Structure 1
Amino acid sequence: MGAPGSGKGTHTPSILRARGITNPPISVSQLLQTPECKELINQGQMISDRYVIELILHAMLDCDPTVGVLVDGFPRTDIQVEALKLLHDRMTELRREYWDTDRRDQYPRPVFRICVLYVDEEISVQRQLSRGRMIREHNVEVKKTGQGVLWDERVTDNDESLIRERYSIFKAHYGSLLKLSKMFPFHLINATGSIKEVLQIILKEFEYQSSLELDSDTFDSISHIPVATKIGIHARQDLISRLEHYQDIEPDMLHKAIKFIDDNVIPQVHRHSISGHANVRTEEPLMGEENFAAIVMDVLSERGYHVSFDRRLHHVPIRIDLKTGKIELETHHIYLLTVEYPKHYIRALEQKFN
């Protein structure tokens, strides 16, 4: 991806060679060469996300999945970014699902790499105007001599106002592109130099990132372990389901857990409200019951507290046999709840003393 006039088309053949990609590149601008789309594009307008995504998915299905494919000009919007992430997640799930079956090879591991070429607006405008002049001069020569092939002329290469409109659209969606840096190997390339200089930067970036990628066997071996960022995706819904289950099936236990929180946890939370951290130690026998402790933690979690739970044994001497020296111990079960919550900053006091 990149700004208009940043050289995406120019560098595509070199990237294909460097990555060993033999599938023809999928160019969004080429996919949109229908009369209806051309009219909108020539006006500097965007095509709907749904239509763009549908075209790209159909184009990808026609590719050899074993060698990869370069997609030029996608994604450009927040919706397209989310669609790309969903595609990667689904491909990963299918790979994991069929890993131990004879259909494993039909579901290759998805490896998405993002490269964004960036130039500022004035360079973008000048490059596109220059490209338009070059294409017009070429076509004039072809028509005059009857030799050669006419090149397609873009309306947007001849009208500065449309060129600036295209750049403003790119800039408006630039934040969407940067979101990809948190999801995939990401390269932001300064494309203001010469073609040779920019190509060297691209290839160097790709070579470095390749050394950081796991091979497929290693990836498959650890892929069943949930990614940390996904652990909480369904946790909220599961929590609500459990609380509703407690209310329907174990209402007495739920009410006892709530009373325990009211009597033992909340007073400590209020006492330590500035620190945002409270430790609650108790010998309440009910906390020894797995289900009761789980209900207490779920209720606190639903109210926005981060809770961890620990059990400890405490041995207290109660009797000594003076003849044998044997010490009789009484075992106490100590339960520890660690409760975390947002700190309270007393800004008025800070301002007063500063």
Structure 2
Amino acid sequence: VAPAWTLTGPLGGLGAAYAAPMATVSAMDRLTMTGKLVGLTDGERKLADEPEAQEADSEPELDAKDVAFHEETLTHKDSSFHDAQMIFDLAWAAVERIYGRDGCVFPKELLFLGGAPGSGKGTMSGYIRKMRDISAPAVEVSSLLQGERMQKIKDEGGLVGDQDVLQALLEELLKPQYSAGVVIDGFPRTRVQAQCIKLLFDKMRWLRQVYADDVVLRHRFRRPIFRIVVLYVDEESSVMRQLQRAKRLEAENNKVIDTGLGKIKKARATDVSEDLARQRYRVFKEEVYDALKLVKDNFFFHFLDASGSPEEVKDLIFHEFTYQSSLELGDETFERIRLVPEAKQVVAQARQNMVQRLSAYVTDHPELFDQVVEMILMEFVHILRRQALAGRAIIRSNNPILSSKIALNMLLDILSERGFYVTLEVQQENVPTRVEPAVPGDFSGQAIHCE
């Protein structure tokens, strides 16, 4: 008796032969500041492969007297003080005195979010956090500048400088709620702050080396992941969105006045003046983006066209943040699994192979191929139609054609090419064909032969 072949699987969708994992492979486009879309391959996206930070015993330390001297002589008017290394060292020394070196445990993933005015940073920040499984709220640097420490500086007649901003940010990032990851909104805004991002990355790698042999603490100092995300819209779109925001706010305020429910909100000055809106955009392009360009070659730099609808921008973000195991896994873990191909690679190769096989079937076995197609039309299609609403069909067949491995492969490939997800289960039964005659005096039983 010929074996019974059972083919099961959901109906619809693009299938890959032999139950290959399903995934989509798509080319990503990157928007440059000129507004033109240019293709960028995965190989062009890079995390700077810099040597590991210097040995632990060679890490430069600030002498206590030096720290005191610099803190005394460096006033809060340090916005023109462009020595990023000095500013970082002073901010780091202050933080380390408070928390101790082994308490300087920063989030594993730091995602720096920047964007043009009206690009939708507030909306997309929540979506990015959801995609990256970050439960903590975004750190808004503008809010940090409203704290008591910053207000004290202002009350004393000082200006909040890069060192103050950096120290406030470092202290905020050490809070346990950000351990898994954090989105930082509004940093960097200056070239000095951008340089400090690189210095922070180097410091985190150095700490990882320092505690590599400490069985108690090494798990706290993980391989850092830094990402830069820029949401871009052109000047005209930015100005239009800023002015529209003021109109929406005016409508909401009128509703509050009419109903007495809610609170009146004040519009930004840049949202009611076209000149101020354009000035705000120029500040972004000439200062903020200029600062971000300093680090775009050091970390994963996601430059996204935010001129589309919110759903379109979310789709871009989804593709940009596709899982990259080479970044997110530890070095040893990644080295152990990197030989296992990714699902999208398996699917892409399976699809290519299937197309080649189908062409070969028609060339090398045209008659058998026609028989398989006829079998599908006569035995399978009516069942598929009846089970279409259920979304799943189980088809059992004893057709002798399927005893041929070539015909079986044809069947799988044809159904997969037509968009079905196909799995195969072979069920064979042994059928008795002959029984050995009994032997007098032999009570061991009679042999039964099966096919």
Give the structure-1-normalised TM-score. 0.55
SS at match of 1:70: strand
Alignment of 1:29-68 (within 5 A): 29-33=142-146, 48-68=161-181
Task: Determine which of 122, 132, 142 is the counterpart of 2:256.
Answer: 142
SS at match of 1:109: coil
Task: Determine which of 288, 310, 324 is the counterpart of 1:195.
Answer: 310
Q: Name stretches of at least 5 consecutive residues in structure 1 with no aligned partner.
A: 39-45, 222-354
Change in CA separation of 1:34 and 1:132 when aligned onto 2, cut-off 3 Å: farther
Change in CA separation of 1:133 and 1:8 when aligned onto 2, cut-off 3 Å: same
Computed over aligned residues only, the root mean square deviation of the Cα atoms, in angstroms, reads 2.7
Mapped partners of 2:148, 2:254: distance in 1: 25
Mapped partners of 1:166, 1:36: distance in 2: 27
- CA deviation map 1:225-273 (0-9, x unaligned): xxxxxxxxxxxxxxxxxxxxxxxxxxxxxxxxxxxxxxxxxxxxxxxxx
SS at match of 1:181: coil
Contact 2:325/2:334, CA 8 A, preserved across alignment: no
Change in CA separation of 1:190 and 1:204 when aligned onto 2, cut-off 3 Å: same
- Determine the structure 1 residue equivalent to 2:133: 20
Structure 2 residue identity aligned to 1:170: F
Aligned residue pairs total 214
Structure 2 residue identity aligned to 1:189: L
Higher normalized contact order (CA 8 Å, seq sep 6+, divided by chain length): 2
Structure 1 residue identity aligned to 2:192: I
Alignment of 1:171-320 (within 5 A): 171-173=285-287, 174-207=289-322, 210-213=324-327, 215-218=329-332
Q: In the TM superposition, what is the alpha-carbon distance from 1:113 to its structure 2 partner?
A: 1.0
- Determine the structure 2 residue equivalent to 1:304: none
Q: In the TM superposition, what is the alpha-carbon distance from 1:25 to its structure 2 partner?
A: 0.5
Q: In the TM superposition, what is the alpha-carbon distance from 1:118 to its structure 2 partner?
A: 0.7
Change in CA separation of 1:50 and 1:133 when aligned onto 2, cut-off 3 Å: farther
Change in CA separation of 1:212 and 1:109 when aligned onto 2, cut-off 3 Å: closer
Change in CA separation of 1:143 and 1:162 when aligned onto 2, cut-off 3 Å: same
Change in CA separation of 1:18 and 1:132 when aligned onto 2, cut-off 3 Å: same
Q: In the TM superposition, what is the alpha-carbon distance from 1:140 to its structure 2 partner?
A: 2.2
Q: In the TM superposition, what is the alpha-carbon distance from 1:47 to its structure 2 partner?
A: 6.2
Contact 1:99/1:220, CA 8 A, preserved across alignment: no
- CA deviation map 1:266-325 (0-9, x unaligned): xxxxxxxxxxxxxxxxxxxxxxxxxxxxxxxxxxxxxxxxxxxxxxxxxxxxxxxxxxxx
SS at match of 1:112: strand
Structure 2 residue identity aligned to 1:98: Y
Mapped partners of 1:47, 1:169: distance in 2: 18
Comparing 25-34 and 172-181, the one that deviates more: 25-34
- CA deviation map 1:122-173 (0-9, x unaligned): 1111101111111122122113211134445322211222221211111112
Change in CA separation of 1:28 and 1:91 when aligned onto 2, cut-off 3 Å: same
Mapped partners of 2:146, 2:206: distance in 1: 34
Mapped partners of 2:269, 2:188: distance in 1: 23
Comparing 53-62 and 114-123, the one that deviates more: 53-62
Q: In the TM superposition, what is the alpha-carbon distance from 1:37 to its structure 2 partner?
A: 8.9
After TM superposition, where is structure 1 displaced by more than 6 Å over at least 4 residues in a row? 34-38
Change in CA separation of 1:197 and 1:184 when aligned onto 2, cut-off 3 Å: same
Change in CA separation of 1:192 and 1:85 when aligned onto 2, cut-off 3 Å: same
Contact 2:195/2:294, CA 8 A, preserved across alignment: no
Contact 2:226/2:299, CA 8 A, preserved across alignment: yes
Change in CA separation of 1:156 and 1:27 when aligned onto 2, cut-off 3 Å: same
Q: Name stretches of at least 5 consecutive residues in structure 2 with no aligned partner.
A: 1-113, 152-158, 336-451
Change in CA separation of 1:145 and 1:21 when aligned onto 2, cut-off 3 Å: same
SS at match of 1:180: coil
Mapped partners of 1:70, 1:125: distance in 2: 25
Structure 1 residue identity aligned to 2:231: L
Structure 2 residue identity aligned to 1:77: T
